[in-house]
Amino acid sequence: MSYRFSWRKGIQLRLRGVAAAAFFAVASLAIAPSLASPSQAGVRPCTPGYSYAGYAGREGVNGVAATISAPALPAVWTGHAAAWVGVGGIHEGPGNANEWLQAGIAAFPRVGLRLYVEEVSRGEARRFADLGPAVVGRRYRVRVVEKRPDVWRAFVNGRRVGKPAYLPTTRGSWRPVATAESWSAARSSCNRYAYRFEGVSALQAGRWRTLGEAERLGAGLTRERSGFSALS
């Protein structure tokens, strides 16, 4: 997964790579078919591409975290339906380099719900790591944190996952993102999901605080005391 920020005109998200990640996940994992796949009858065709439901902070941070869960198994026809926290984006590093790190849960056709982390360090290829199955209804505390200058790590339930990501920036600190995301192929039915984000917080000046003023991404959001629910 990847995304692009426009720092002057608000946020524009441009996701790439998840389709490839979905392909490799389906091709390489021997998982029982999902029982949550919807019937084709009565399911409206979907506009192809990406859609989002989440928030992006307006200030730079040194970390972003949320407790992510899926109350029900997403119904995914093509592509994926994911929920993640992360920083960085396409062409957002110095010299328009691609740089990002994100982690969360994602559902793929015939594969089910998975934990994952994805990173693109400066000058390196994208790395997508499948961390194993995620359980419907279980809450996962996901953090993406700058551990030393320009070096970021991802954590799931306090456990370090994936590789360190080298994410230098000429803009100060990265803005935090916590969002659900769906990608559908052309002529496909819409993917369906319900994700919950609790305790959405950002690390600033050495302290974790509830994510304050933030830019809304997409639709299907219900804001809660320290988080939100995303429904599609």
Alpha-carbon distance of 10 to 15, in angstroms, equals 16
Residue 95 has what pLDDT? 85
Q: Quote the tokens at residue 150.
A: 């320009």
Q: Is the pLDDT of residue 26 over 50?
A: no
Q: pLDDT tens-digit profile of 27-47?
A: 333 222 232 333 443 445 577
Quick one: average pLDDT of 146-173? 93
Share of the chain above pLDDT 90, in %: 60
pLDDT at site 93: 84
**Rounded to whole angstroms, how far apart are CA atoms 96 and 90?**
8
Among 118-122, 131-135, 156-160, 182-186, the minimum mean pLDDT is found in 182-186
The domains of the chain are located at: 18-231
What average pLDDT does the segment 8-12 reach?
A: 34
Mean pLDDT of the chain: 82
Q: Which residues contact 182 (CB under 8 A, 6 or more apart)?
A: 50, 51, 52, 79, 80, 81, 82, 190, 191, 193, 232
CATH no., domain 18-231: 2.60.120
Residue 158 has pLDDT above 90, yes or no: yes
pLDDT at 73: 96
pLDDT of residue 45: 57
- At residue 53, the pLDDT reads 96
214-218 and 99-108 strand pairing: unpaired
Does the pLDDT at position 172 exceed 80?
no
Q: In the predicted model, is pLDDT for residue 193 greater than 90?
A: yes
In this prediction, residue 130 carries a pLDDT of 96
Distance CA 136, CA 113 (A): 8
- CA-nearest of 220, 168, 189 to 54 is 220
Q: What is the pLDDT of residues 45-86, one digit of tens each?
A: 577 788 999 999 999 999 999 999 999 999 998 899 999 999
